[in-house]
A and B are shown apart, each in its own frame.
Chain A
Amino acid sequence: MLLNRLKAGGPAIAKQGILVAFILFMIVFSLMSDRFLTADNIMSVFRQSAIIGVMAVGVTIVVIGGNLDLSVGSMLSFATVLVVDLHDKIGPELAIPIMVLATLCLGAINGFLIGILRLNSLIVTLGMLSAIQGLVLIYSGGQNVDIVDQRGTWFAIFGRGSVLGIAAPILIFGLMAIIFHVIMSTMPFGRKVYAVGGNPTASVFSGIPRSRVVFTTYLISALCVAVAAIILGSRVMGSQNNVGQGYELQVLAAVILGGTSLLGGAGSILKTVLGVLMLAFIQNGLILMGQPYYTQWLVTWVVIIVAVWLDVAAKRGRLFSPIA
């Protein structure tokens, strides 16, 4: 039946491989655990997915532009340690802008090496992943950092506050997703990112400043990391040196789940949001079912493979195809 739908290529549902998989998961989990579909649980999943989600917004844009960003995990460690550490030293009013600027500088380094010097993004950001982790350790001297007065600071609102009963992290995630979705789908800059990711040569032949566009995508990615760091630092009120370790893979998984092509030129931020939520619900569902956390990784992997497969199958019009 699914095969026939796919062959028809028509109905949106067959093309939205991820949506189908998402709904299936929700059904299975809600049958297996009666806590799964409670408002409380859903809200908490949303809240927990906010940090990965905000970062995934930036990485989606980088990937649409035809590149990768694996440095976001250690960049998150850097930004969180910095903002928490500076909080007690110079106060949040200064700590936040300084941290944002410093993180943007890291993004600019990525952007310069990949956009302007045209180095391979996998290699550059993989290198940055460990370089930044080193930077964090040098900065902190290996010590974890904490905010002493956790009740008296307004910095707490980003991670712990809420508006009309909706947690601040969810609001920030939603806002970031909407803003960048609008930019990507309706503004000239977004169009240029799609063009550069789809065909860099043809973009240059159309007068698009390819280097500048790629550079900017890395700035955006860094900005998203900075925002994620504010949420994380504010929620935990402290930071370990390696708090962001492994986030890069979760973020990338969400982006791929969302159907953004790693070849560049195609993808959507709203679908990435779906990918983020799906990952979060799977992990939550497994926990509710009493599974140890490491099964999440196996299941996540299977889900990604199936989603990607459904996606390409819908494009090809059949499940198995000898030609692209």
Chain B
Amino acid sequence: MSDQQEPALRLKGIVKTFPGVRALDGVDFEVMPGEVHALLGENGAGKSTLMKVLAGMHQPDEGQIIIAGKPVRMTTPIEAKAQGVVLIHQELSLVPEMSAAENIYLGELPLKRFGRVDWTTLFERSNAILKRLNCNFRGEVTVANLSIANQQMVEIARALTVDARVVVFDEPTASLTDAEKVVLFEIINDLKARGVGIVYISHRMDEIFTLSDRITVLRDGAYRGTLTTADTDEDEVTRLMIGRSLDLSRDTAEHSLGEVVLEVRDLSCAPLFKKISFSVRAGEVVGFYGLVGAGRTEIAETLFGLRSPDSGEILVDGSPVQINAPADAIKLGISLVPENRKEQGLVLSMNCRDNMTLPQVQNLTTGPFVSSGAEIAIFDKYRDKLEIKTPSWRQTTRVLSGGNQQKIVIGKWLSMHPRVLIVDEPTRGIDVGSKSEIHMLLRALAAQGYAVIVISSEMPEVLRVSDRIVAMYSGQIMREFTAEQVTEDSLVQAISGIRTSEVA
């Protein structure tokens, strides 16, 4: 790479405002050909917005987009793609009823005469792309039947249909397994070797540092600087991003454990999980670690009354309970922060406040009317506690940044003051600062006497927050560790289904 080389893409002084929000405030950004340029910033810093401007989905209020030396104006994603700019979305944007192949070539299906779709070519080409991505499914399958990770792969495959100049990955790994990540990184390196400029957005520092050549940091919509990855470290990047250093040590402050609050005996629900037994005490954080698909989410859903078990018992405070619906679970003090915020966590068309108070709206009344004051008080409290960035409680949750949406869901269940709090992938898509705050919050909740269950596919997270760790593999509990016993190796073995003799 010579120094005189033209950037593949340059953004100059981009300003973008939404009602009440200055999402981008004069941002400069450039990507060289063959470079992986990471874009970092807190939730709501404007990363996705910047990329949407780049991909023709938003028009900037001010500023210029320069591709290969020429200023361009792009008003649709298809136009952007024609310029060689492809965006892989943070949130999946596939048509579930269509085949993977149709999704890959959406808007540019190969045609025969009279506008008929050329299916042979379509499937041939898309299968070639899927093969390059090492996918174990074919273009003919319907997207709705694919796992989330495979849907993500389809989304990525879309980028490979043209000779891209710049490919943007907006948090591509949020729902990928480690193995799938390896494949993704290979693809990125492959694109890079062919001279494609890559923009990579992620909240995972380890990924940023293995992949990227340079790092640009945004904060509150403003450009904070660009660093060369080789000359910097996590601490410097974090300080640029959130204005302070992070304490990543485990909170080891001892607090006494109370009685067993929740106990599960031989709970089975074929074919999802079988013979699950464990207990959680007041003041304890139990981590459930395993691969995606190990049955952890399904156990949580059963405890929350969303599935009925085939056999087994659930005990709360020592007495057996029947949980037939979420309302039963809520009455017993069990809360679930679900895995998928957009589908299960939020009513996107509703505002922030209403979403947060939804489970308790029946009780927040003065006379027959919902008490707006009580609702706003709750919202304000958790907005401050979780540092949710939104211009006001009136904002619909649809336009919040991904991380802030997640915080609304967490706030919703914290405000219920549950006795047992189950959180499923609580920090997916959350920035490092808030992530460590959520971790501390979970520890603090335990210290106040809550029983907390954390389901996570991120080992550092599980290690950091749990007092005990339950390792699961394909619907079964393989082993239980205490925080003192656990080692990374034994944990990896357990979740891969390797039974080892108990450590003496």
Instruction: Give me the interface of A with B, judged by CB distance under 8 Å.
Output: 9-10, 186-188, 191-192, 194-195, 198-199, 201-209, 265-266, 322-323
Contact = CB atoms under 8 A, between A and B. Distances in A.
Nearest to A183: B368
A265 B350 contact: yes
Interface stretch (B246-254, B323-331, B468-476): B323-331
A220 to B, nearest CB: 16
Contacts of B77: 322-323
Nearest to A205: B344
A296 B75 CA distance: 39
Given A195-B358, A209-B325, A187 B368 contact: yes
B370 A207 contact: no
A188 B361 contact: yes
Interface of B: 19, 57, 75-78, 304, 306, 325-327, 329-330, 336, 338, 343-350, 354, 358-359, 361-362, 364-365, 368-370, 412
19 contacts: A9-B19, A188-B361, A191-B354, A194-B347, A194-B349, A198-B348, A198-B350, A199-B347, A199-B349, A201-B343, A202-B345, A203-B347, A205-B336, A205-B344, A207-B327, A207-B359, A265-B349, A265-B350, A323-B76
A316 to B, nearest CB: 11
A207 B325 CA distance: 7
Given A187-B370, A195-B358, A205 B338 contact: yes
A191 B330 CA distance: 18
Contacts of B347: 194-195, 198-199, 202-203, 265
B370 A206 contact: no
Nearest to A10: B19
Contacts of A9: 19
A186 B361 CA distance: 11
A266 to B, nearest CB: 6
A203 B349 CA distance: 12
A192 to B, nearest CB: 7
Contacts of B358: 191, 195, 203, 206, 208
A205 B358 CA distance: 10
B330 to A, nearest CB: 5
A207 B329 CA distance: 8
A207 B330 contact: yes
B400 to A, nearest CB: 14
A191 B361 contact: yes
A201 B348 CA distance: 12
Contacts of A187: 365, 368-370
A191 B75 contact: no
